[in-house]
Amino acid sequence: MAFPKIGNLAPAFTLADQSGKPVSLKDFREQANVLLYFYPRAMTPGCTVQACSLRDAQAELKALDTVVLGVSPDPVARLQKFIDKESLNFTLLSDEDHAVAEKYGCWGLKKFMGRESMGILRTSFIIDKDGRLRHIIDKVKTKTHHEVAIDWIRNNL
């Protein structure tokens, strides 16, 4: 599976957010840059570290005209629990059939503790206000992900 091409329009999608409301990528066109990040599962250790770092960086992201959308295969109810538990201040989207993850090339074979399974490959996409894919972060470290994303946005958008 391949990532979408940098410079092209980012693949369009509409997914349900944590409250079941539909959210489309095009909703942010001309209004904000989008940090679209795919994570394996709500309320797991690495995903919690990553989400809380983004929560704590909201002021910086807002100053850079950037909204965060987190996407996982979790059902809507689990997303709301994750937001409540960690006081998250950005939108989480449910991609239960992983169709959007597949469009973005981040659904694939994972190896964990000697076992192989299909799942989300932790990846982030930076999309500009014109809806164009500008950058892909595919070697994500959960503790520093927010810093890498903010630095790139600050220096390139």
Q: Would you name the residues annotated as active-site residues?
A: 47
- CA end-to-end distance (rounded Å), the chain: 27
State which amino acid sits at residue 4. P
Q: What is the DSSP string of 52-66?
A: HHHHHTHHHHHHTTE
Give bridge partners of residue 126 from the DSSP assignment. 35, 135
- Is 86 within 8 Å of 39 (Cβ atoms)? no
